[in-house]
Structure 1
Amino acid sequence: MTARYAIILAAGKGTRMKSKLYKVLHPVCGKSMVDHVLTQIEKNDMDEVVTIVGHGAEKVEETLGDRTKYALQAEQLGTGHAVLQAKDILGDKEGMTIIACGDTPLFTAKTFAELFQYHESKGAVATVLTAHTDNPFGYGRIIRNDIGIVEKIVEQKDATKEEAEVTEINTGVYCFDNQELFKALAQVKNDNAQGEYYLPDVMEIFQKEGKVVAAYQMKNFEESMGVNDRLALSKATKVMQRRINEKHMQNGVTLIDPDNTYIDIDVEIGSDTVIEPGVYLKGKTVIGSDCIIGAHSQIKDSIIEDGVTVTSSLIEEAHMRQNSDIGPYSHLRPLADIGQGAHIGNFVEVKKATIGKNTKVGHLTYVGDATLGKEINIGCGTTFINYDGINKHHTNVGDYSFIGSGSNIIAPVEIEDHAYVAAGSTITDDVKAHDMAIARGRQVNKKGYYDRYPVAQAAAKTEAKEEK
């Protein structure tokens, strides 16, 4: 099999983005644009990939890691100059090389595979990936002769009036015979409007040498969308969102309103799960089968097992086990682990805590730095107080215990199995199994105390008026 290489152009700063973040690192559906490109290229059994970096080199390398080698383009002197920076790594190798831009996140592995196959089948020294568009402004034009052979590629700024009317455009993706590519690059000049070394100029060099230059026209122009500003970023994101949502629906997931459902590319969802409008599923979230993810919920980097119901809640780096439920308006913070069949009601916050099987935390409660056993009832308004201003402390609550409403559990404390905490208690000491803890002042009623306050006088006047 012919060796396969790839060069990803990712050196540009992208001034039109007007951002502190380098252009190719802007995310589209949970993954940077350059990562999208590399991910799709990797699916084609590559022998080696080189990413050309410049502005933000360290950040790009941090994002992509050791999945690719890197070459630095210190000066931005055009695409031809950028590719030439990979010569020390690839220049003497035999095989085919695809070149793609790091700001084109919509290309698919299938398109790259088709380009490789077409290039090899034509015995070409170079093949350009083209597309048809009714609005070619801004793109390089594919100029063919009268029998359809590619003669050259003309950039927008260098095109004549006749050339500018051509609707077949250069997508910026190419496949080359690797050694011939680097030989031709040495001959590229910069006598153009931009004073840059254009990669497409190698096509004309090959033509003059009598070598075969091919063009493969892809069917879906949408894939070739490049991102140079925030408007284009939003358009690319919309396309990717639609693509992701369609994949999940084809796999048996119900999206009530796909246009208002936002799912990052690495999210996994099981069949027969229902996603309501306004949901945002982020990062590497995994959702099982037969779940209901209610309207306007957000879930990030979390595991949601089969049969879970999430109602209008925020979940971050947490784990909800089979048939548990949460919401509305609750928040699972990192390291929350909700047990099988457990119930997390409305306005509950859980952080770095394990909630046991079938335990109920109904409403208006905070559980932090705690381990709760199974079959526990946590009453309304309970607070697990875990921070003394310097250290976080842990609380354990045993199986089948009952924590009454309005209780304050001040860590560190151990509440054993089958223990009972009376409502309104502030617990600072351990509670033994089968004991009941009551920690509140004894009630005292002050006779006639109400009449001493202005509110009583105002009430008396109101009552007098009503009697009249």
Structure 2
Amino acid sequence: MSLTQPAAVVVLAAGEGTRMKSRTPKVLHEIGGRSLLGHALRAARALGPARLAVVVRHERDAVAAHATALDDGVTIVDQDAIPGTGRAVQCALTALDAAARGATAAAVATETWLIGPVVVMAGDTPLLDAGTLAELLRAHTADANAVTVLTTTVDEPHGYGRILREGGAVVGVVEERDATAEQRLIREINTSTYVFDAAVLRDALGSVGQDNDQGEVYLTDVVALAHRRGLPVRAISVEDSLLVEGVNDRVQLAALGAELNRRTLKQWMRDGVSVVDPSATWVDVDVELARDVTLLPGTQLHGRTRVGEGATIGPDTTLRDVVVGAGATVIRTHGSEAELEAGSTTGPFAYLRPGAHLGQQGKIGTFVEVKNANIGAGAKVPHLTYVGDADIGEGTNIGASSVFVNYDGVAKHRTRIGAHARTGSDNMFVAPVTVGDGAYTGAGTTVREDVPPGALAVSGGPQRTIDGWVLRRRPGTAAAEAAARALGGAAEPDAAEDASDPEAADPGAAGTGAAALSPQARAERARAVPASRTPRDHQVPGATAEGDSNR
């Protein structure tokens, strides 16, 4: 049987949610990467309603803005000061009737009302899916019901409205606070999900008062009113009670979040994804995974992350809105709004910031941070490097401990390194600067000027070695004793070595003994205790002394 398009779906999102104890409106709390209201709107829109309304009151502006951001076709309805779900739906009907009249060319001459089935659902039941709603709507249409209510049976019904039956027929719903002791023993509960005939709903709500324990206009009273008027009222029960469980506090939020994740992973595993440890893996509902993807423990995939066929993610990896190509490997990495092409390798301990792009077969290695940068196919940034605002050509290798210096204190600038270049370790690329194709840079180079293709850039001066400096300037220290042993017992440098030491030429610095040492050298000498005289309980933890068998 084809699905009848509902005249409208009304999502109730006006409640304060005091038990959440949060400044954030209850329906804006998230599980599975989507707000509670977002889950409800996704299920509602899948029914193809002619109109979709969201009723708001508490934190009205925040909830309304979120709803329209998710679905710009929603009608925002403000509930007035009269409390209760019945009043919320009555406000929605008024707005929907006005919209129906406004959409009719003959509205000026005739009264036009919303006609047909109206689905009413809560905004805090995140596991309620479109399939369940569709079955409820089909049953309502097939039986020509005035009211169809979705129910479930639970072991602990405390806090829920109970379904009242006579001879098996549904005759009403009683709220927990208004129920008798006998009625509270009923285990079939109301899920706050209904389909009403619009005309029946409109007429019944005009007769519902606030004569109850909470002084509210109950939507549930419509069920009893329709029954008393001899109209067909039915209940459709779902066995999976978690589908219709609402969120009232953070305990329920966490529990339903875990259940949603379990169901999400179960479906992905059935679709050909390997999840090594589902209890330690979290995947949002909008993530897309190809077959033969492997998710290792500690993996969290958020937002609209997409992972290509055969890729391996984890362990201990968090990605948000990241595209991972086929066959890529991402290990112990934190990333957002980045793209890693097919066959690439990232991590461990990499940090991908927005705009990071790694080409096919490329590598982002250990303790590498990348931001707003393109790293070409086959290019490698293996170790301890920051790449910000840069373009790196294919096949290029960036040496360890390099920094792309992109910020001058006022503006960001870009560095461009060509294809198949080789840059040394501990390089500083002071942007804006360009290193040409096939160019080399020496270790410790600060690149401030463009390097032509095929050139070698070296900015460091010649190394100076002052022989015997430790023996003269740090006598009596452990370093001096080690040097003396290595030099075969030589205690003093020759005159030529003295001449090469600028300190030796300074009369104020010359001399022997502690009095001639600098304050730093005297302090180092005072701290030094020869290893042969160091008591065992004063040695560095974990160190081994000469003669130890476990050296």
Q: Which category of TM-score, normalised to the shorter sequence, fits these structures?
A: over 0.9
**Secondary structure at 1:6's aligned position in 2?**
strand
Residues 374-422 of structure 1: CA distance to partner in whole angstroms, max 9, x if unpaired? 0001111111111111111100000010000111111110101010001
Post-superposition offset of 1:57: 2.1
Task: Check if 1:93 corresponds to 2:109.
Answer: no
The 5 A counterparts of 1:114-129 are: 114-129=135-150
Equivalent residue for 1:81? Answer: 87
Partners of 2:6 and 2:119 within 8 A in 1: no
What residue number does 2:503 align with? none
Task: Give the alignment partner of residue 33 of structure 1, picking from 31, 36, 43.
Answer: 36
Number of equivalenced pairs: 466
Give, in whole Å, the separation in 2 of the partners of 1:74 and 1:426. Answer: 67
- Structure 1 residue 87: Cα displacement: 2.2
Render the CA deviation track for 1:58-110: whole Å, top value 9, x for unaligned.
22222222131110013260100111111223342111011001011110111
* Cα pair 2:305 2:320 within 8 Å, conserved: yes
Structure 1: 5+ residue stretches without partners? none
**Larger relative contact order (CA 8 Å, sep ≥ 6):** 1
Q: Contact (CA 8 Å) 1:12, 1:76: kept in 2 or not?
A: no
Read off the aligned partner of 2:459 and give its amino acid letter: A
Alignment of 1:235-314 (within 5 A): 235-314=255-334
Q: Give the conservation status (yes or no) of the 8 Å contact 1:129–1:174.
A: yes
The match for 2:469 is 449
Q: When the two structures are superposed, what TM-score results if normalisation uses the length of structure 1?
A: 0.97
Q: Distance in 2 between matches of 1:10 and 1:407?
A: 56
SS at match of 2:120: strand
Greater C-alpha radius of gyration: 2
1:464 CA drift (Å) = 7.1
Partner of 2:65: 62
Q: Secondary structure at the match of 1:86?
A: helix
Is residue 363–residue 380 contact of structure 1 (8 Å, CA) maintained in 2?
yes
1:46-445 counterparts in 2 under 5 A?
A: 46-65=49-68, 66-75=72-81, 77-91=83-97, 92-145=113-166, 147-445=167-465
Q: For structure 1, which segment, 272-281 or 52-61, has the greater mean C-alpha deviation from structure 2 after superposition? A: 52-61
How far apart, CA to CA, are the structure 1 residues paired with 2:198 and 2:287? 36
RMSD: 1.5
Following the alignment from structure 2 to structure 1, what is the Cα–Cα distance between the partners of residues 476 and 422? 39
TM-score by length of 2: 0.83
Aligned pair in 2 of structure 1 residues 189, 441: CA closer, same or farther (>3 Å)?
A: same
Are 1:450 and 1:456, in contact at CA under 8 Å, matched by a contact in 2? no
For residue 326 of structure 2, give the secondary structure of its aligned residue in structure 1.
coil
Identity %: 39
For residues 25 and 453 of structure 1, what CA distance do their matches in structure 2 show?
68
Partner SS, residue 182 of structure 2: helix
Shift of 1:209: 1.2
Structure 2 vs 1, CA of residues 381 and 35 (structure 1 numbering), >3 Å: closer, same or farther?
same
**Deviation at 1:424?**
0.9
| 1-structure distance, mates of 2:379, 2:227 | 74
Post-superposition Cα deviations, 1:129-158, rounded to whole Å, max 9, x if no partner, equal 00011111111000000x211111000000
Q: Deviations over 1:411-449 (max 9, x none)?
A: 110101010001111110000011100011221112332
| Deviation per residue, 1:218-270 (Å, 9 max, x gap) | 12111111101000100110111011111111111000011111001100000
Contact 1:334 1:352 in 2 (8 A): yes
- Seen in structure 2, the aligned counterparts of structure 1 residues 463 and 140 have a Cα distance that, compared at 3 Å, is closer
SS at match of 1:49: strand
Match of 1:14 in 2: 17
How far apart in 1 are the matches of 2:230 and 2:164?
Answer: 17
d(CA) in 2 for partners of 1:9, 1:240? 21
1:95 maps to a residue whose letter is G
Preserved contact between residue 8 and residue 118 of structure 2 (Cα < 8 Å): yes
